[in-house]
Structure 1
Amino acid sequence: MTDRITVGHMYPNVPSPIAAKRFDVSVRRQEASQGPSFQDVFNDSLVRISHHAGVRLQQRGIELKPEQMDKIGTAIEKAAAKGAKESLIVMDNMAMIVNVKSKTIVTALDRTSMTDNVFTQIDSAVII
C-alpha cells in the first residue's frame, strides 16, 4: 500500500480549486464589464425607511404618500450633489434625518416634536 491517493483520484470529475478560482475571477470580470444590474439600479433609486424611523412615523401618526417620497428622493439627490452625508429634511409639518449615501430615513419628527429641538450630527439641511 505505497500508492498515494490524491483528491483527483478519489473525485476525478471535481475541478481543482485553482481552476474554480480562475472561473470566479473571469465571471466577476464579465459581470463588472456589463455594468450594474437592473436590481442594483432599482434599489439605489429607492428611499428606504429604517426600523427606528418606521416606529417613529407610526408613533407620531405620520403617513408618507408616494408624492412625498418622490420629493424626499429629490431632496436627497440635491444633498448628495453638494456632498452631504447626514441631512435634515424639513417638509410640510415634519422633519427627517436622512443618511444621504444609503438614501435611508433614520428618524422622523412631527411639528410638535420639532419644537425646541436641537438637531446634531448633520452636515446639511434641505427645506422642501
Structure 2
Amino acid sequence: MEIRNLSTVRELRLQHEGYRQKEEKADFGALYDKEIQRTGLQFSKHAAMRMSERGVELTSKLAVDLKEAVDKARDKGAKDVVVIGSSSAFIVNVTNNTVVTTMNAQEMKNNIFTNIDSAVLL
C-alpha cells in the first residue's frame, strides 16, 4: 500500500510539473504572439534561441523601437539590416520582417556584421 501511495504522489508531482511548464510556455507564447501581432516582426527559431542564450530581453518598448527601425530601413530600400541598441543588436531580414539573429552588448564588441546592406542605431 505504501509503494502505491508513493507512486501516486510521484505521478501527481510529475503531472503538476507538466502543467506548470505548459502554463509558463503558454504565457511566453502568448506574449510573443502579442508582440508579433502588434509589431509585425517575427523571430526565427535561431534568433529566439540566441535571445534566450544571450539574455536579451524583448520589452514592449524595444519591440516597437525595433519595428520603427525596420520600417525606416525599408523606406530607404534596405533588404538586410543590423539594428544596434545600447545593449543589443538585431540582424533583420527586412523583406520578410524576420529577426534572423541577435546579440548582447558584450558580443557586439568582438563581432563583424556581414551580409547586411544597412545599419540603424536606436
Q: Structure 1 vs Structure 2: percent identity of aligned residues? A: 37
Q: Secondary structure at the match of 1:68?
A: helix
| Residues 28-47 of structure 1 aligned to structure 2 (within 5 Å) | 46-47=40-41
After TM superposition, give the deviation of residue 92 of structure 1 in Å.
2.0
After TM superposition, give the deviation of residue 79 of structure 1 in Å.
0.2
Among 41, 46, 59, the residue aligned to 2:53: 59
Q: Which residue of 2 aligns with 1:84?
A: 78
Deviations 1:16-56 (A, max 9, x none): xxxxxxxxxxxxxxxxxxxxxxxxxx969511111000000
Q: Which residue of 2 aligns with 1:106?
A: 100
Q: Which residue of 2 aligns with 1:96?
A: 90
The separation in 1 between residues aligned to 2:72 and 2:84, in whole angstroms, is 14
Name structure 1 gaps, 5 residues minimum. 1-41
Q: Which has the higher helix share?
A: 2
Q: 1:45 to 1:116 in 2, by over 3 A?
A: closer
- Superposition misfits of 4+ residues, deviation over 3 angstroms: 42-45
Q: 1:75 to 1:66 in 2, by over 3 A?
A: same
TM-score, normalised on structure 2? 0.67
Q: RMSD in angstroms over aligned alpha carbons?
A: 1.7
Name structure 2 gaps, 5 residues minimum. 1-35
